[in-house]
Amino acid sequence: MAVTEAAFAASRDLFERVAGDLAGPDAAALTHSALEDLLAARMREVTRQLFQDHLDLRAVREERVGEVVDAAGVGRTRIERGRARILATVFGKVTATRIAYRSRGAVDLHPADAALNMPTVMHSLGLSRLAAVESARGSFAEACERVNTLTGAGIGPRQVQELAVAAAADIDAYYRALVPEPCTDATLLVLSTDGKGVVIRPEALREATAKAAAAKSGNKMATRLAPGEKHGRRRMATLGTVYDAEPAPRTVDDIIADPVGSQRERRPGPKARSKWLCGSVNDTAEQVIAAVFDQAEARDPDHRRTWVVLVDGARHQLGLIHAEAARRNVAVHTLIDIIHVLEYLWDAAHCLHPAGDRAAEAWVAAQARTVLAGESEQAAASITAAADAAELRPGSRKGIDDAVGYLRNKAAHLRYDTALHEGFPIATGIIEGACRHLVKDRLDITGARWGLTGAEAVLKLRALRSNGDFDAYWAWHEKQEFTRNHQARYRDTLIPAA
């Protein structure tokens, strides 16, 4: 008991000083905000000293272990007491003193580090967690400022980035190990993928993009891009989502009301639940789509549920999805997002109606109702007839031709009549929202040029937080850190008691 009492004398003394200052006349003149600032600074030091006193007490209590043998079977027969290392915590830097177990030609082992699950770097897991959270919210510079404001750690943006990258290291493995929530066979299994470009440093561009940019560099103007020219500095990030939804049958009137029919309350579409998001700027689209199918198959290993795949209609994406479905021998219902179809219809309407003409809205609604009824060919014919009747010149009907070509080329993926009858979702709002939230709101901030590892870590951390899994992941991540840094270093994966 006396040892314990003496161990915390320094922190008690600091606390008494703070209490004494607060009781004095100078503190009586402070505003509440000044008191907040005072206590934030002074009590952080008290807490840091408490941490230090506890580590010192552990050092006093540490006893020599009878046998310490590493994973290779090499024993540590000599010890060195008083071996110290610094740990930067959320309260400030502390020093951990412990016994080092030594053998000639072998790395020293410290069982006391295992008991504390010490990181291999100077910064604590608490600082790493804070850096990961703040890096997912804003720029690394902003994250650095926030971390230093909260902790007084005094770390720089590069260190924050390194901590964020390390924090994201186990995210893929975490999701592979996660057991999905059970569902009935009637529950829809919905998959969706999309891509978004990220401005990347030249050395991190994909090979094809780098070659294309290099080929154009000789013909570039010095001060600006030529018409239609692109920077050639983006690397495509591919995102994917999987979610469950109960079928919600609807009709065309529930999507776009009949202008001459009686108005009724529209029935809502399927509600997404158990949403899972993933994204990668490092992996190819093929690899991300495979990961999406892995997640779907984990939820429905026997392929008993109805699989619905929502896409934006990109040919390469469709090809990868169909190839993956065929490889796994699973039937999928592939649907193109209705919003993309509407954009083509509006482009066609602008060829037929002057800007601001309200008749264009009614015309688009009529064509959209035809498409929703499963009659995309009829809609294409109607649009063509309208263009012919208007006697549009060839140069004035690009929107018409694009819409007609889209409706005919993608007809197999526009079976909205079946989708509405079966209660499928018909819009990619979730993956579109993910592109904005995961990529545009963070990776596309003004002036940002990303390295590959930083962009990948931030994308995965934002997806993790969007899934609502950060706290559960972090507990799992700390266990993986323990296994990697400590348990795996000892024989029979057993750690001697410190």
Instruction: Supply the angle between the helices 32-61 and 9-23 in degrees, to the nearest 10.
Output: 170
Q: Decide if 396 contacts 351 (C-beta within 8 A).
A: yes
- For residue 51, which of 89, 14, 85 has the smallest C-alpha distance? 89
Give the pair of three-digit tokens for residue 341: 């179809």
The two beta strands, 307-311 and 188-199, are parallel
**The pLDDT of residue 152:** 87
**The pLDDT of residue 228:** 44
Residue whose tokens read 């010149």: 393
**The pLDDT of residue 440:** 63
**The pLDDT of residue 66:** 83
Q: Decide if 187 contacts 246 (C-beta within 8 A).
A: yes
Outline where 98-183 has alpha helix (H): 111-116, 125-137, 140-151, 157-167, 171-177
Residue whose tokens read 């700390």: 478
Give 413's DSSP letter: G
Rounded distance between C-alpha atoms, residue 372 and residue 40, angstroms: 60
Instruction: Give the torsion through C-alpha atoms of 128, 476, 443, 454, to 10 deg.
Output: 60
Domain ranges of the chain: 62-178+469-498, 185-215+229-437
Beta bridge partners of 425: none
- For residue 299, which of 188, 172, 194, 193 has the smallest C-alpha distance? 188
Rounded distance between C-alpha atoms, residue 386 and residue 184, angstroms: 47
**The pLDDT of residue 363:** 94
Give the pair of three-digit tokens for residue 330: 């699973």
Q: Decide if 147 contacts 153 (C-beta within 8 A).
A: yes
Q: Decide if 97 contacts 83 (C-beta within 8 A).
A: yes
Q: Decide if 201 contacts 451 (C-beta within 8 A).
A: yes
Residue whose tokens read 């009747």: 389
For residue 125, CA distances in Å to 50, 116, 474, 479 come to 18, 11, 10, 11
For residue 170, CA distances in Å to 164, 427, 457 come to 12, 32, 10
The two beta strands, 307-311 and 332-336, are parallel
Give the pair of three-digit tokens for residue 60: 């006093």
Rounded distance between C-alpha atoms, residue 470 and residue 99, angstroms: 35
Rounded distance between C-alpha atoms, residue 212 and residue 220, angstroms: 12
**The pLDDT of residue 395:** 80
Alpha carbon 66 to its chain centroid, in Å, reads 46
Q: Which residues contact 321 (CB under 8 A, 6 or more apart)?
A: 193, 289, 309, 311, 332, 334
In the chain (498 residues long), the average pLDDT of successive 10-residue segments reads 78 96 94 94 95 96 91 93 96 96 94 95 96 89 91 91 95 89 94 82 56 53 47 74 94 85 79 89 92 95 96 90 97 94 93 88 94 95 91 86 95 95 88 66 63 86 90 96 94 68
Looking at the chain, how many residues does it have?
Answer: 498
